[in-house]
Amino acid sequence: GQQLNQSPQSMFIQEGEDVSMNCTSSSIFNTWLWYKQDPGEGPVLLIALYKAGELTSNGRLTAQFGITRKDSFLNISASIPSDVGIYFCAGQLGAAGNKLTFGGGTRVLVKP
C-alpha cells in the first residue's frame, strides 16, 4: 500500500524558534493535509492543500504541496509552548475527506 515517510520523528523546540517538518510519498496524492494531535484527543486539521505547488498559511503555520504531488512540508514560525504535540501529514486521493493515508507523525517537544 501507499506509505508516507514523515521526518523528523521527533524534535525539540525552544520558544521563538522556527521549526520545519516534511512528508514524502512513493505515489501521488490529490490533497495533502496537516493535523495536530494533543494528548488524549483526536487529530485536528491545521492546513489543507489542494493543488500542486500551493503554499498556504494559517497564522504561524505555513505548508506547501510539492510540485511533484509526492511531498509536502509544514513550517511553524516563532514557536510557543502550546505548539507541543504530534503533527501528522496525510495524503488523500479522492475528492472527499475519506480514506486518508497518514504519516508516522512528528512529535514536537519543548527543550528541557
User: Which residue number, 36 or 79, has a Cβ lying nearer to another protein?
Assistant: 36
How far is 44 from 10, CA to CA, in rounded Å? 19
User: Which residue number, 30 or 77, has a Cβ lying nearer to another protein?
Assistant: 30
Q: How far is the CB of 59 from another protein (least distance, A)?
A: 17
Q: What is the CA radius of gyration of the chain?
A: 13
Q: Which residues 6+ apart lie within 8 Å of 97 measured at CB?
A: none
Burial 41-57 (b: 16+ CB within 10 A, else e): eebeebbbbeebebebe
Q: How far is the CB of 5 from another protein (least distance, A)?
A: 10
For residue 108, report the phi and psi dihedrals to the nearest 5 degrees.
-105, 125
Size of the site for another protein (CB under 8 A): 27
* Interaction of residue 76 with another protein, rule CB under 8 A: no
Q: How far is the CB of 45 from another protein (least distance, A)?
A: 5
Strands 10-13, 106-110: parallel, antiparallel or unpaired by DSSP?
Answer: parallel
Q: Between residue 4 and residue 63, which ones bind another protein under the rule CB under 8 A?
A: 4, 6, 9, 31, 33, 40-45, 48, 50
Residues that bind another protein (CB under 8 A): 1, 4, 6, 9, 31, 33, 40-45, 48, 50, 88, 90, 95-105
